[in-house]
Structure 1
Amino acid sequence: MFQKILIANRGEIALRVLRACKELGIQTVVVHSTADADAMHVRLADESVCIGPPPSRDSYLNIHQIVAACEITGADAVHPGYGFLSENAKFADILAAHNITFIGPSGDHIRIMGDKIEAKRTAKRLGIPVVPGSDGAVTDEKEAKRIAGEIGYPVIIKASAGGGGRGMKVALTEEDLEIALQTARSEAGAAFGDDAVYIEKYLQKPRHIEVQVFGDGFGRGVHFGERDCSLQRRHQKVWEEANSPALNAEERSRIGGICARAIADLGYSGAGTIEFLYENGEFYFIEMNTRLQVEHPVTEAITGIDLVHEQIRVASGGGLSVKQEDIKFNGHAIECRINAEDPRTFTPSPGTITHFHTPGGLGIRVDSGVYSGYKIPPYYDSLIGKLIVHGRNRVECMMRLRRALDEFVVDGIKTTLPLFRDLVGNADIANGDYDIHWLEKYLAKEE
């Protein structure tokens, strides 16, 4: 087991990893920018190192400074959390060159799955169902029209190196294709420095289903069930739940088994999430995230397994603590992402939290790094906390969620709490009857 882990992140995820390390008896080091000097994870860590000014590029994305912090403190492993350097293959390679363990997959696996086109090819080879579309990057309009004609309109054009909805355009007809192609390539080049795009069939009313997987790096793989992340705004997840209200036990077992076998065949090490669009009983691979997900607590709630403990165990060479037959699913869990944003316009709302009170009671968990008097800096993601609720079934879970949202108090800034209070009383949400477009349509009606 590791002696000392450096946590290369901030906010609630840094605190989440820190807690796991303390439970395992592992010393912790956190890095922070000057803007985060008073952050809770800095206060609670065994050691902290300031690595630069507020801009991420000068601090949390500064590989040189993070490696230097490891060497100064004697950290023998780095947990990257999510975001920042968590899916940076170069970072994983550099740590390996310095004999520091990256708590995550190999740089090669990060590279394969970080390229959307190569990830789709790999998924196909591993037996994972994929969305019909181009086999690689589309280079000109003539080729795009041919492919779109073969798979049928509507189609979606996506940036190969993309994420967060950037470099992504829908063409409903052939007439739309030219401008969609040009716009997607332009956005991709500006956002990612790579204008390569590919084409896929655009599904009309799909769910967003993701399967949590783990590999031990030695040919064993397991799955921890699925999460439904269909409630999204601008391709950003807002509300996640496990298990999905849309799947039955047979479908759950089938897609989970496919993903676990694929991870084993790939020789993958650590946590990963294989994401799908689901429509009319069929799953279509869209991407794989080679890291811990923001929404991992709902999986922990229904399995009772600490996924960060599992990450650390696998990275230290201890293998997986469970076999597939040991993983049981108990009840239902929902996570709401609480952001420091205006609940109507979603404009960021940095500032000082004057009062912060979290809900409690059976089945309630809040992951947050903020506190009363904490000043939210304007430089980073607006997520300030996650409310995770667990019940014996979805009905009980929704009842507890409604009560927990009423108890949650954040004063001094605007948050998205009012949005969730609206959603929990909506009939479609109560019935689990929604798709990836539902929230955008709901918000449009509210305006």
Structure 2
Amino acid sequence: SGTSLRQSYLTTAVLCYINLLNYMDRWTIAGVLQEIKKYFHVKDSSLGLLQTVFICSFMLLAPLFGYLGDRYSRKIIMCVGLVIWSGITLGSSFVTESYYWLLLVTRGLVGIGEASYSTIAPTIIGDLFVKDKRTWMLSIFYICIPVGSGLGYILGSSVKQATGDWHWALRTSTKFFLVEAFHLIIASTLPVLPPTIRSKNIPSHYSCFFFKVHLSIKDKRVSELHTFGYYTFKFLTPVVSPWSSTLHMRNNKNIKSPTAVEKPNCNIQDNLIFGAITVGTGVFGVLIGTAVASRWKKITPHADPLICAVGMLSSAPCLYLAIVLAQSSTPATYVFIALGETFLSLNWAIVADILLYVVIPTRRSTAEALQITLCHVLGDAGSPYLIGIISDAIQEGKPDSHLLRFQSLEYGFMLCTFVGVLGGGFFLLTAFFVKEDREKVEQFTKG
């Protein structure tokens, strides 16, 4: 790419740090979820809608930024997105209790900034590094997702505890984004693809790997299967930690007083524990998944999707046990939630790497954007809201109590176990076809 190794590492470090802040911002809301529920007097489904409107905005704009990222300055696009993102986040912190709809709108607009960054950053790392080194650099980038999520969870709870106002949780992270926009301009020299690659004609078969135009079943392969597996992975990731904490908090209230009906307050200790679990399991899971993939790929070219399948299939029973043991054993709940999140985290870097090596370099931003859109449509755009709808439906028409609130959310959360098994099946099928698709892209890139 014409970029020195030192500059490549520096660029990757800046991108990773921004990704960390990205997920801190996204999950700060989760740390004060129950305070928002109390402040605005809304139902579980409305709480889940906060995540849904954000993801809908994010996924609708991702294809636009993917198209732009393949054709114009990626640095400028990301910097503009960071400024928009930070400004809207700050503005959302001034929404008052009569304007919950405005909070939903601002959370949706934050998706503009995040779409400009998340669709482009992984493709830059894909251009800077190849093979095992690329996998490791991507693992560092994707470690920032669970770490940032956990830190955002902790930040939101801690700031609310210190200030007594959940609005300050949104204001604390805003200043970092403007600083990072300048860091991105000064510190990073983004790679330019070699003219021999950029000037090639691009056949429709490779233009975006899940929209192949060939009609025969054998030519679809990794396209649909990998994307469907990614659907289920993205369905689970925004649900497990925030709803797990809420479920645990409601269980504590239920144990103390099953028939009481006062609204629950945010428990800082529970949020800190679940935030720490998310950080620890994220780092451990991503590193283990990457290390195993690097070694196993030397033995079999089918390693990546097989590891993803193991992660999904192993997380399902862990989440199930965490749910059913919640009332009888708090330590067991923590243990199985930690195991479930660890198994899910095996997949973060690997699913991204699969996308990059089955798409030619000049269309990676477009492919990343289209995958983000499709996976959010059937994944995390609806999963928090769906869990909330199930919980509200079970509570409908019944006398309110802590026991009912706990059980309704418990039944809604059961959906995650079935989704995990389904995702594992899709990744197993992907393993049959990934080798041939990868070899075709490598042959095309070499001419």
Same fold (TM over 0.5): no
Say which structure, 1 or 2, has more relative contact order (CA 8 Å, 6+ apart). 2
What TM-score do the two structures reach when normalised by structure 1? 0.25
Higher strand share: 1
What TM-score do the two structures reach when normalised by structure 2? 0.25
